[in-house]
Amino acid sequence: MRRTNPLVKRRGTHVTTAVLDAAAKLIVEDGYDSVTVARISKLADVHPTSIYRRWQTLNNILAEAVYNIVEDDAPIPDTGDARTDLIQFCQTLRDFMGTAVGQSLARQAIEPVDSDDMAERRREFWQKRFTAAGTIIHRGIENGQIRRDIDPGQVLGLVTAPLHLEVLLDEAQEPVNIEANVDIIWRAIASSE
């Protein structure tokens, strides 16, 4: 039986951490479009061939770095009123989407996926985010504000899609009126009890 050298394992973990930290730093400081493998390589002090061996493409590195940055950064408001919570959630999302990391995340959502592993990572990332935000809808159903037959994922998709589009169109459209957008959706989901 072949044994794994613990030093090699540590070195692999060190390389992964160094590369992802360097990519994250470059995204935050200089923006998504400015990041290159050469810049990551220099900052991480990792040879480009090692980077390509592990991630294959720049897009895979950027996706993993962005997902790691925002992994647990999903504050969910709880005011006791589901409509108010949706509005506050969307306002927080808009503020986040105005940052370099938020813009990078929006871009990653539409970039082609380069591997099955990255496709699965993307799916898990977004599922976790929608599950966390779905708490707003579940609370609204439990307290009788939202109809019981409503799918939380559909509601969240409807309220957040215009904000993602706003970022991707880069000011080519008027800013979304968050409260008006939530109210349109609220009329369709509100309980009549």
Residues 182, 111, single domain; the answer is yes
> Which domain, by its residues, includes 113?
70-189
**Considering its fold, how many domains does the chain have in total?**
2
135, pLDDT greater than 90: yes
Please check the confidence at residue 188 and state whether its pLDDT lies above 90: yes
> Global pTM?
0.78
If asked whether residues 162 and 74 sit together in one domain, one would say yes
Predicted pLDDT at 7: 33
Burial class (CB in 10 A: 0-12, 13-18, 19+), 86: buried
Contact assessment for residue 44 and residue 21, using Cβ atoms and an 8 Å cutoff: yes
pLDDT at 193: 62
pLDDT tens digits for range 82-108: 999 999 999 998 988 888 888 888 888
Please write the tens of the pLDDT for every residue from 157-185.
999 999 888 888 876 678 889 999 999 99
